[in-house]
Structure 1
Amino acid sequence: MAITVLDTCSAMRRILQAPMADRAGLLRSMLEPNAGMYRYYPGEIDLVSVHHQTSGFPIDRDEERCLDALDTLEAAGAWERMQRALDDALAVLLEATPGLKAPDITVLFVLGDPADQHFMGPCLGLTGFGGISGNIAITFWPFPENVERLEATAVHELHHNLRFSPGGVVWNPATVTVGEHVVSEGLADAFARQLYGDELGHTRIGVPHLHDDAVFDKVLTGLDVTGMENFTAWVHGDPGAEHLGVTPVGLPMGAGYAAGNRLVDAYLAATGRTAAQALHADSAEIIATALRRG
């Protein structure tokens, strides 16, 4: 089992400096190694279109701004830091979970779109997706707070990837609950905090609401909701819901992350387990244990 952080640094620089007519083809070539992330999508997927739909960097404007951001990440050693963090975190998870069969994992780390107001504003310049076994995608803008948390961001997604890999928790789109999603975010944050401490390990969008009892209580009312189209409203809150055109439920950005951290912390305190040891813990058990603890 191996983790490969793709050399998107060189690829992005080549794309941003290429003649306009060549950029889409070069971008498609860069994205292709991580195409397995979309293996469950119905029909054909155009990787370039998906890139732009998910706040990826533009190929028809803002070249200098993106190249400057790329220079910042390269100077920070972002790709090397991410590779080391993921390799170290995998070793921790393998030790904590006897018999864990980790897949080979491909990591795509790309710049975001500096003109995307939702990405740069409510999302704070960071989105990640690690829920499809064997593939991780991180879209990033190098705000100083994000660069500082780069390792924690990567291992958060790794925890998701191995939680939902074969032999782990089954994510059935027809039956999965908001509670599963909320718990998975809490566990992934707890793992990042296990390795890097609370200041760096918390996902930034959830931090403002960690101690907000009204937000926590509201999220609890939605834990049994099914249907993945509803998850953004309960986990990312009204800004995320409105961005995707789904019905908001009256929650701030990152509400589900904040609630997930509280639930998972109560569970880990009650059981004495670490987030690494709880990689495959049942979400219903985590929620029940946490709520009993009060």
Structure 2
Amino acid sequence: MDSINLKIIDSLSFYKRCIKQGCTEDEFRYALMKPVETMWKYLNAPLQATIPGGYDVVMASEMLGIWTPRKSVDLIEPHITNLEATGIFSKASDVIREGVQRFAAIGYQIPLTEIVLNILLGDSENGILMASQGYSGFAGIPGYIVLLVVPNAFNQTRLESALAHEFNHNVRFSYQPFHHGDITVEEYLVIEGLAEVFAEELFGIEKRGPWVQDYDQEEMAYTIEVMKDGRSAKGFDQVSAYMYGDEVAREQGYHPVGLSRNAGYTIGYHLVKAYLRNTGHTIEQATLTPSEVIVKESKLFE
């Protein structure tokens, strides 16, 4: 199809209402989470817990670093104006439109009629979120994109790039579905590398996310060797240790594997870059290429 309808949840009005008159967990649940309920169902997070205090979208949101009314509105009040000032709510349609056109140009019609975009304020007390310069996203379920941000000088100019990154995930998973608990380190390297290179091609290297680190030659060679040995590991705990590095692994109770922060994102980025150099393919063509082909033709692990 030539276009995809972008539905943007009006989170700004919800946050402004919270500041003016307060808000409850249920209001958060139904104003901001209900529109993406299908996404949460895929992640086994019910809209409402079956027992008081049980696992639901509010608890899941907290775990992802999203602000919820369980915390003080003082945490978000300084950030509402800054989020609005980024212009991401008005710029988002252009990002999606350009992404759709780039894939249409290689003959791929993305099998989606609508993308629901939820732009949410992050929890500034979440250490993992703040370690990634206060912004992150999720787009593992085609048709749904979540951006979360604690606006600051670094990320306020990078939200369009972050949206392009997440859009690429939606396209990739429309081609090759994402199996959260059964994904290998190797597959995750490719997924994140594709998304960041795609965003970079749209918005330039200066808008690249902080999850791609600048390694010297020695650290790059060491990290590639660790990834080479562990790339068949499965399970989100093991994958997280390789993708996010030892610091986050310890914070999350996972077994560290001897890597710097965001090592997997860095190696994934360079892996995809190597694949594009070696093959002459575009990032759009690469997005529709099996992971094992990208890894083999990148020659990164040889």
TM-score scaled by length of structure 1: 0.90
Matched, 1:203 2:209: yes
The CA deviation string for residues 244-285 of structure 1, in whole angstroms up to 9 with x for no partner, is 211111111111111011110111111111112222111111
For residues 18 and 113 of structure 2, the distance between their equivalents in structure 1, rounded to whole angstroms, comes to: 30
For residues 172 and 118 of structure 1, the distance between their equivalents in structure 2, rounded to whole angstroms, comes to: 23
For residues 175 and 68 of structure 1, the distance between their equivalents in structure 2, rounded to whole angstroms, comes to: 40
Matched, 1:44 2:51: no
For residues 56 and 293 of structure 1, the distance between their equivalents in structure 2, rounded to whole angstroms, comes to: 36
Distance 1:61 1:40, change over 3 A: closer
Counting only pairs closer than 5 Å after superposition, residues 180-219 of structure 1 correspond to structure 2 as 180-200=187-207, 202-209=208-215, 212-219=220-227
For residues 29 and 227 of structure 2, the distance between their equivalents in structure 1, rounded to whole angstroms, comes to: 39
Pairwise CA distance, 1:59 = 2.2
Matched, 1:13 2:13: no
For residues 174 and 60 of structure 1, the distance between their equivalents in structure 2, rounded to whole angstroms, comes to: 28
Matched, 1:23 2:30: no
Q: Secondary structure at the match of 2:84?
A: helix
For residues 162 and 31 of structure 1, the distance between their equivalents in structure 2, rounded to whole angstroms, comes to: 23
2:242 to 234, 245, 250: 234
Pairwise CA distance, 1:174 = 6.1
Distance 1:205 1:173, change over 3 A: closer
Task: Report the counterpart of residue 53 of structure 2 in structure 1.
Answer: none
Q: Secondary structure at the match of 2:285?
A: coil
Task: Report the counterpart of residue 147 of structure 1 in structure 2.
Answer: 156
**Any stretches of 5+ residues in structure 2 without a counterpart?**
48-55
Task: Report the counterpart of residue 51 of structure 2 in structure 1.
Answer: none
Identical pairs, percent? 27
For residues 301 and 124 of structure 2, the distance between their equivalents in structure 1, rounded to whole angstroms, comes to: 43
Distance 1:287 1:77, change over 3 A: same
Counting only pairs closer than 5 Å after superposition, residues 122-271 of structure 1 correspond to structure 2 as 122-165=131-174, 168-173=175-180, 175-200=182-207, 202-209=208-215, 212-271=220-279
Instruction: Point out the more displaced range, 85-94 or 226-235.
Output: 85-94
For residues 71 and 93 of structure 1, the distance between their equivalents in structure 2, rounded to whole angstroms, comes to: 34
Distance 1:292 1:178, change over 3 A: closer
The CA deviation string for residues 104-136 of structure 1, in whole angstroms up to 9 with x for no partner, is 21111101111222321x222112111111111
Pairwise CA distance, 1:53 = 1.9
Task: Report the counterpart of residue 57 of structure 1 in structure 2.
Answer: 67
For residues 94 and 102 of structure 1, the distance between their equivalents in structure 2, rounded to whole angstroms, comes to: 13
Pairwise CA distance, 1:156 = 0.3
Distance 1:186 1:100, change over 3 A: same
Pairwise CA distance, 1:15 = 2.5
Number of matched residues?
288
**Any stretches of 5+ residues in structure 1 without a counterpart?**
none
| Partner AA of 2:6 in structure 1 | I
For residues 122 and 13 of structure 2, the distance between their equivalents in structure 1, rounded to whole angstroms, comes to: 16
Distance 1:274 1:66, change over 3 A: same
For residues 203 and 97 of structure 1, the distance between their equivalents in structure 2, rounded to whole angstroms, comes to: 29
Contact 1:97 1:279 (8 Å CA) reproduced: no
